Amino acid sequence: MLRPEEMTRAVVVGSMDSLDATIECLYELGIMHLIDFTKQDEEFKLGQPLPRASDSSQKLLKLRSMIRTLNIEEHEPSAKLHVKDIDKKIEHALVTLDVNTSSKAEARQKIQSLIREKEIEIKALEPFVTFGIPVEDYEGFDSIASFTGVCKKDPETALRSKIKGIEFFKEVRKGSIAVAVFVKNVDRLEASRILSEHNLQEVRLPKLVGQPADIVSKHHAEIKELQADLKRVESDIEHIRKQFADLIISSEEHLAIDVLKSETPLRIATSANAFVIDGWVPSSMLPDIKIALDTMCCGLAFIETVSPEKEEEPPVKLKNPKLVKPFEFFINLVSTPKYKEIDPTLILFITFPLFFGFMIGDVGFGLGLVALGAVMRMKLKRYPDLYRLGAIVLVGGLLASIFGLFVFAEAFGVPFHPPPQSPDEASWESVGNIPINPILDKMHDTKEMLAISLLAGWLHLTLGLVFGFVNSYHHSKKHALGKIAWMVILFGLFEEIMVIAGSATETSHFINSTVFAPIPSMITTLSGIKLSIPAIAFIVVGVLGLPVLEGPLAMTEVVGIFSNLVSYARLAALAVGKGAMALAFNSMLFPLIFDSGNIGIAIAGIVALFVTQMFFVFFLGALSAGIQAIRLNYVEFFLKFFEGGGTDFAPLSYERKYSIAKKQEA
Amino acid sequence: MDIGTGLALVGAGLAIGIAGLGTGVAQGQVGAAAVGATAEDPKMFGKGIVMMVLPETIVILGFVVAFLLMNK
């Protein structure tokens, strides 16, 4: 929590004989983040792939081409295959299967292209069927030029009036006119001009012999035969697919893992007789790796810890309890924290649902969100991001229900009891008496909600600055003190706001009489605004400290911290906005439903209410509350301390989904 | 209701309305750029969201001013 997993720099060294076993062992454990070896010298060179690598990758290549031909990329094997079976079957299967599939695939392609060819020829010949001219007679004359094609307008009159001794054939079709024109060579240009004026699209006739009608009907018959052939080939391919898809997919996975392992030496240093694998290991896992190496490599390889150089940045593996883990989703969206930085996931786990719950604050919608989150958890395991988001929605919905039940006392935008300010408002009292009274009313206690929002903002921002202090303490004490200056300014600012609010809200009254009680309340009034002298003093001291600690440019950001604090007003703003929206729809549609006296109108009203509530209040409300809750963390909170840019912990490991390795057998 | 209160309410409406417009203009431009960046590299999504929601503070300031005016 708050800190990532502690990492130790370690090297695994051993004799070349044990390289294979060591790599196997490291992949099985999946806890070593390898550092690629780059500095080659006379002694140590980059390793060579293990001997079996080229064989495996060749097989893999064949399998992958087969997967493409058989179109089984998405296939999920019904049962897991043991790697021993895979090794046994794949050798034989590859020889026959490869020949079989590739010849079938070739045949399929050939037939398909033949069919396409014939279809193109039919399409070209069809317009000219009625002319009764054999295809070979359309060209090949010395003194006659011919044009064949499709016109938009009929060119007959124009052609006959301009050119003497013309042979003209036409066939009126849907939206166009097929024409065949024969003219003397001297009239060629003129004919071409006239035809292009009539938008002639020339059609090149295929080089065939015979009447177009005969050719077309012959082609049709041939296509039918070809299609039957295609069907046969397809069914053969389908047969192969059914029989071997499981084996192919499982083997592909197994071989991919094998290639991954056997090419690992390309990333490590080897000499004639020894190898060195350099990397990071979670400190807590060191004993595991020691034991595993001892047992699997028979003492030929061992692990040593080394002290890292100062500028080396260990990879980051976030360490959070299981409940908090889904919230790492939000951290990954921005950037992985650096190794020495505080990991704010835990704070997100607390603040996000609180902010979200406060903004939604409705037991009806809250329970709806809980249900939505639960469905996402149960049904969407395949999509890891949505799966994690499901947990976030669930926790957020839970808090929204708690706020809705105990603080705002309302469900689906309708309060349990009408507020005393407007006793005629629709409420759940007409259904039954719920013995919970609201602590806050969204529409009437806006001031109180604003004060609560600002208090949350002050606490959240101060925590951000504390984290900022801790993060910068190691590399710059001055910078860390700068964070304290910001805290002092923020404290003054908050005190001033609370003094202005005075006893107008219970929150400000409470804060003034507890947090600010030890500070002497020296209040003057300047043009109608209450000013607290100690608060102003805090702000001035902080601002004066800034140029020394953070540089003169920091002075320009003083306004920024004010707008950061005010930014938390969105908590109240969204809650009020959502409440107002629900109230507006309810007060428009309830009279339709209950007072119209017409069952049709009442049903229409219920449908409209359902749609507006679902879409505007539930869906858009949850979306905007979610975005605002995370924004307050990302922008206001994170920018006080978070830099990010750490390297993700990516250990040597693999995922077996469709095959079983030796270890799992036992 | 006297004229002063009426004017204050008009002012409240203007404050939040115009602030909303400002946010909209700013957010539209940032959003377009953020979507472009995310299309090129999905890892930019988080940074894009942060950039995109920055101008929202403008409308919150508008809300606060409107709120103060309404309570005058």
Assign 3-class secondary structure to A111-155: HHHHHHHHHHHHHHHHHHHHHCCCHHHHCCCCCEEEEEEEECCCC
Q: Do B53 and A447 touch (CB under 8 A)?
A: no
In angstroms, rounded to a whole number, what is the distance separating the alpha carbons of residues A352 and A356? 6
Interface test with A, best of B47, B64, B69 (most A CBs within 10 A): B64
Residue B1 included in any domain: no
Q: Residue A561: closest CA among chain B residues belongs to which residue?
A: B57
Minimum distance, in Å, between the CA of residue A501 and any CA atom of chain B: 11
Read off the pLDDT of each residue in A154-174 and give the average, rounded to a whole number: 87
Query: B10 — contact with chain A (CB < 8 Å)?
Result: no
In angstroms, rounded to a whole number, what is the distance separating the alpha carbons of residues A321 and A337? 17
Please write the tens of the pLDDT for every residue from A286-338: 888 888 888 877 778 888 888 888 778 899 999 999 999 999 988 888 888 99
pLDDT at A176 over 90: no
Give the containing element (helix H, strand E) for A515. Answer: none
Query: B42 — contact with chain A (CB < 8 Å)?
Result: no
Please write the tens of the pLDDT for every residue from A604-652: 888 888 888 888 778 888 888 998 999 899 889 998 999 888 889 999 8
The contacts of residue A245 (CB under 8 Å, 6+ apart) are: A70, A72, A75, A77
Q: Give the confidence band of B72 by pLDDT, cuts at 50, 70, 90.
A: low
Minimum distance, in Å, between the CA of residue A542 and any CA atom of chain B: 24
> Residue A461: which of A218, A648, A636, A258 has the closest Cα?
A636
The contacts of residue A45 (CB under 8 Å, 6+ apart) are: A269, A270, A271
Residue A653 backbone dihedrals phi, psi, to 5 degrees: -165, 175
Q: Do A631 and B63 touch (CB under 8 A)?
A: no
Residue B11 included in any domain: no
Looking at the DSSP bridge assignments, the partners of residue A181 are: A147, A168
pLDDT at A188 over 70: yes
**Separation in Å, CA A385 to CA A328, A351, A380, A390, A394:** 10, 20, 9, 9, 14
Q: Tell me the three state secondary structure of residue A81.
A: strand
In angstroms, rounded to a whole number, what is the distance separating the alpha carbons of residues A56 and A49? 11
In angstroms, rounded to a whole number, what is the distance separating the alpha carbons of residues B30 and B35? 9
* Cα R_g (chain A), whole angstroms: 39
Query: B54 — contact with chain A (CB < 8 Å)?
Result: yes
Minimum distance, in Å, between the CA of residue B56 and any CA atom of chain A: 8
Q: Which residues of A touch B46 (CB under 8 A)?
A: 332-335, 634
Supply the DSSP string of A306-357, one letter for each residue.
-PPPTT----B-----TTTGGGHHHHHHH-PPPTTS--THHHHHHHHHHHHH
Q: Tell me the three state secondary structure of residue A596.
A: coil
Q: Which residues of A touch B61 (CB under 8 A)?
A: 563, 566
Minimum distance, in Å, between the CA of residue A594 and any CA atom of chain B: 33
Q: Which residues of A touch B57 (CB under 8 A)?
A: 563, 566-567
Give the containing element (helix H, strand E) for A524. Answer: strand A523-526
Query: B67 — contact with chain A (CB < 8 Å)?
Result: yes
Q: Do B50 and A570 touch (CB under 8 A)?
A: no
Q: Residue A628: closest CA among chain B residues belongs to which residue?
A: B53
Query: B57 — contact with chain A (CB < 8 Å)?
Result: yes
Query: Residue A313 region, left (φ>0) first, then alpha (ψ -120 to 50), else beta?
Result: beta
Beta strand A176-184 pairing with A144-151: antiparallel
Residue B48 included in any domain: yes
Cβ(B15)–Cβ(B22) below 8 Å:
no
Minimum distance, in Å, between the CA of residue B43 and any CA atom of chain A: 7
Q: Give the confidence band of B15 by pLDDT, cuts at 50, 70, 90.
A: very high
- Give the pLDDT confidence score for residue A453 in this predicted structure: 95
Residue B42 included in any domain: yes
Among the partner-chain residues A566, A635, A638, the one whose CB lies closest to the CB of B54 is: A635
Read off the pLDDT of each residue in A203-217 and give the average, rounded to a whole number: 88
| Structural domain for B61, as ranges | 25-72
Query: B47 — contact with chain A (CB < 8 Å)?
Result: yes
Among the partner-chain residues A446, A450, A634, the one whose CB lies closest to the CB of B49 is: A634
Query: B45 — contact with chain A (CB < 8 Å)?
Result: yes
- Give the pLDDT confidence score for residue B39 in this predicted structure: 92
> Residue A290: which of A8, A34, A35, A48 has the closest Cα?
A8
For a pLDDT cut of 70, what percent of chain A falls above it?
A: 99
Read off the pLDDT of each residue in A576-596 and give the average, rounded to a whole number: 83
Q: Do A630 and B49 touch (CB under 8 A)?
A: yes
Q: Do B50 and A634 touch (CB under 8 A)?
A: yes
Please write the tens of the pLDDT for every residue from B44-64: 877 787 788 888 888 888 988
Q: Give the confidence band of A662 by pLDDT, cuts at 50, 70, 90.
A: low
Q: Tell me the three state secondary structure of residue A12.
A: strand
How many C-beta neighbours within 10 Å does residue A537 have?
A: 14
**Separation in Å, CA B31 to CA A266, A528, A637, B45, B55:** 43, 41, 21, 11, 11
Q: Do A627 and B60 touch (CB under 8 A)?
A: no
Residue B14 included in any domain: no
Q: Give the confidence band of A66 by pLDDT, cuts at 50, 70, 90.
A: confident
Among the partner-chain residues A447, A569, A628, the one whose CB lies closest to the CB of B63 is: A569
Beta strand A301-305 pairing with A7-15: antiparallel
Residue B20 included in any domain: no
**Amino acid in position A488:** V
In angstroms, rounded to a whole number, what is the distance separating the alpha carbons of residues A157 and A151? 13
Looking at the DSSP bridge assignments, the partners of residue A276 are: A13, A269
In angstroms, rounded to a whole number, what is the distance separating the alpha carbons of residues A622 and A627? 8
> Residue B29: which of B44, B46, B51, B45 has the closest Cα?
B51
Read off the pLDDT of each residue in A587-598 and give the average, rounded to a whole number: 82
pLDDT at A354 over 90: yes
- Give the pLDDT confidence score for residue A384 in this predicted structure: 84
User: Mean pLDDT in chain A?
Assistant: 88
Query: B60 — contact with chain A (CB < 8 Å)?
Result: yes
Q: Which residues of B touch A563 (CB under 8 A)?
A: 57, 61
Q: Label residue B16 exposed, middle or buried (CB < 10 Å: 0-12, 13-18, 19+).
A: buried
Q: Residue A564: closest CA among chain B residues belongs to which residue?
A: B57
Query: B41 — contact with chain A (CB < 8 Å)?
Result: no
Length of chain B equals: 72
Q: Residue A633: closest CA among chain B residues belongs to which residue?
A: B50
Query: Residue A223 region, left (φ>0) first, then alpha (ψ -120 to 50), else beta?
Result: alpha
**Tokens 């299609």 — which residue?**
A227
Q: Give the confidence band of A395 by pLDDT, cuts at 50, 70, 90.
A: very high
- Give the pLDDT confidence score for residue A663 in this predicted structure: 54
Give the containing element (helix H, strand E) for A14. Answer: strand A7-15
**Tokens 């020829």 — which residue?**
A121
Q: Give the confidence band of A666 by pLDDT, cuts at 50, 70, 90.
A: very low
**Amino acid in position A324:** V
Interface test with B, best of A355, A570, A647 (most B CBs within 10 A): A570
Q: Label residue A657 exposed, middle or buried (CB < 10 Å: 0-12, 13-18, 19+).
A: exposed
Q: Give the confidence band of A71 by pLDDT, cuts at 50, 70, 90.
A: confident
Please write the tens of the pLDDT for every residue from A530-556: 888 999 999 999 999 988 888 888 888
In angstroms, rounded to a whole number, what is the distance separating the alpha carbons of residues A32 and A53? 22
Q: Read off the pTM.
A: 0.78
The CATH code belonging to domain A124-218 is 3.30.70.2750
Please write the tens of the pLDDT for every residue from A471-518: 999 888 888 999 999 999 999 999 999 998 888 889 999 998 898 888
Beta strand A659-660 pairing with A81-82: parallel
> Residue B49: which of A15, A627, A108 has the closest Cα?
A627
Q: Do B46 and A333 touch (CB under 8 A)?
A: yes
Among the partner-chain residues B46, B49, B61, the one whose CB lies closest to the CB of A335 is: B46
Q: Do B53 and A627 touch (CB under 8 A)?
A: yes
- Give the pLDDT confidence score for residue A664 in this predicted structure: 45
Q: Do B56 and A569 touch (CB under 8 A)?
A: no
Give the containing element (helix H, strand E) for A98. Answer: helix A83-125
Q: Residue B71: closest CA among chain A residues belongs to which residue?
A: A447
Count of domains forming chain B: 1
Interface A-B: count of C-beta contacts within 8 A: 47
Q: Give the confidence band of A29 by pLDDT, cuts at 50, 70, 90.
A: confident
pLDDT at A665 over 70: no
How many C-beta neighbours within 10 Å does residue A82 have?
A: 16
Supply the DSSP string of A400-462, one letter for each residue.
HHHIIIIIS-EETTEESS--TT-TTS--GGGT-------SS-TTT-HHHHHHHHHHHHHHHHH
Interface test with A, best of B47, B51, B53 (most A CBs within 10 A): B53
Give the DSSP letter of residue A276: E
In angstroms, rounded to a whole number, what is the distance separating the alpha carbons of residues A474 and A641? 13
Q: Do B47 and A334 touch (CB under 8 A)?
A: yes
Cβ(A402)–Cβ(A369) below 8 Å:
no
Report the Cα A255 to chain-centroid distance in Å: 29
Minimum distance, in Å, between the CA of residue A569 and any CA atom of chain B: 7
Cβ(A612)–Cβ(A585) below 8 Å:
yes
Minimum distance, in Å, between the CA of residue B47 and any CA atom of chain A: 6
**Domain ranges for chain A:** 124-218
Assign 3-class secondary structure to B8-63: HHHHHHHHHHHHHHHHHHHHHHHHHHHHHHHHHCHHHHHHHHHHHHCCHHHHHHHH
Q: Which residues of B touch A631 (CB under 8 A)?
A: 49-50, 53, 56
Q: Give the confidence band of A391 by pLDDT, cuts at 50, 70, 90.
A: very high
Interface test with B, best of A442, A635, A647, A648 (most B CBs within 10 A): A635
- Give the pLDDT confidence score for residue A231 in this predicted structure: 94
Please write the tens of the pLDDT for every residue from A88-131: 888 878 878 877 888 888 899 999 999 999 999 998 888 888 88
Q: Which residues of A touch B45 (CB under 8 A)?
A: 333
The contacts of residue A21 (CB under 8 Å, 6+ apart) are: A296, A297, A298, A300, A301
